[in-house]
Structure 1
Amino acid sequence: MSDAVLFDARDDGIAIITINRPDTRNCLSVDVREGLREAWERFENDSALRVAILTGSGETFCAGGDLKEMVSTGMAVPPRDMFALPYDTIELSKPTIAAVNGFAFAGGWMIAQACDLCVASTTAKFAVTEVKVGRSSPWASPLIHMIPQRIMMEILLTGKPITAQRAYEIGLVNRVAEPEALLDAAIKLATDILAGAPLSVKAARDTVMIATEMGRSDALAAARTAAEDCYNSADAQEGPTAFSQKRAPVWTGN
Structure 2
Amino acid sequence: MSAVTVEDRGAISIIRINRPEKLNAINQDVAVEVQQAFKAFDADPDKRVAVMSSAGNRAFSAGADVSNLPELWRAIPTVGFQTDKPIIAATTGWVVGGGIVMVMMCDLLVSTEDTQFYYPEAKLGVTAGGISSLASRMPHHLAMEIMLLGSKIPARRAYEVGFVNRVVPNGEHETEALKIAEELLDSAPLVIGALKRLVSQVLPTGPIERMVDISQTIARVRQSADLQEGVSAYKERRKPRFTGR
Contact 2:97/2:119 (<8 A) preserved: yes
The residue aligned with 2:189 is: 198
Contact 1:128/1:137 (<8 A) preserved: no
The residue aligned with 1:84 is: 75
The residue aligned with 2:202 is: 211
The residue aligned with 2:21 is: 23
**Higher-RCO chain (CA-CA 8 Å, sequence separation at least 6):** 2
Q: Does 1:109 align with 2:100?
A: yes
Given the superposition, is the C-alpha separation of residues 147 and 82 from structure 1 closer, same or farther in structure 2, using an over 3 Å criterion? closer
How far off its partner does 1:211 sit? 2.2
The residue aligned with 1:175 is: 166
The one-letter amino acid of 1:27's match is A
Contact 2:119/2:150 (<8 A) preserved: yes
The residue aligned with 1:144 is: 135
Contact 2:15/2:50 (<8 A) preserved: yes
The CA distance in 2 between the partners of 1:82 and 1:47, in whole Å, is 25
Contact 2:73/2:79 (<8 A) preserved: no
Measured against aligned partners, the alpha-carbon deviations of 1:7-58 in whole angstroms (never above 9, x if no partner) come to 01221x1110011100111000122112211111111111111111011111
TM-score, structure 2 normalization:
0.78
CA RMSD of aligned residues (A): 1.7
How far off its partner does 1:112 sit? 1.0
The CA distance in 2 between the partners of 1:82 and 1:110, in whole Å, is 9
How far off its partner does 1:82 sit? 4.9
The CA distance in 1 between the partners of 2:85 and 2:43, in whole Å, is 10
The CA distance in 2 between the partners of 1:209 and 1:19, in whole Å, is 25
Give the SS at the match of 2:110. Answer: strand
TM-score, structure 1 normalization:
0.75
Q: Percent identity?
A: 35
The CA distance in 1 between the partners of 2:31 and 2:196, in whole Å, is 26
The CA distance in 2 between the partners of 1:113 and 1:102, in whole Å, is 16
The CA distance in 2 between the partners of 1:137 and 1:189, in whole Å, is 32
The CA distance in 2 between the partners of 1:38 and 1:181, in whole Å, is 27
Contact 1:126/1:164 (<8 A) preserved: yes
Contact 2:135/2:144 (<8 A) preserved: no
The CA distance in 2 between the partners of 1:37 and 1:208, in whole Å, is 22
The residue aligned with 1:65 is: 64
Q: Does 1:10 align with 2:1?
A: no
The CA distance in 2 between the partners of 1:38 and 1:127, in whole Å, is 27
How far off its partner does 1:84 sit? 2.4
The CA distance in 2 between the partners of 1:116 and 1:82, in whole Å, is 17
The CA distance in 2 between the partners of 1:34 and 1:208, in whole Å, is 26
The residue aligned with 1:238 is: none
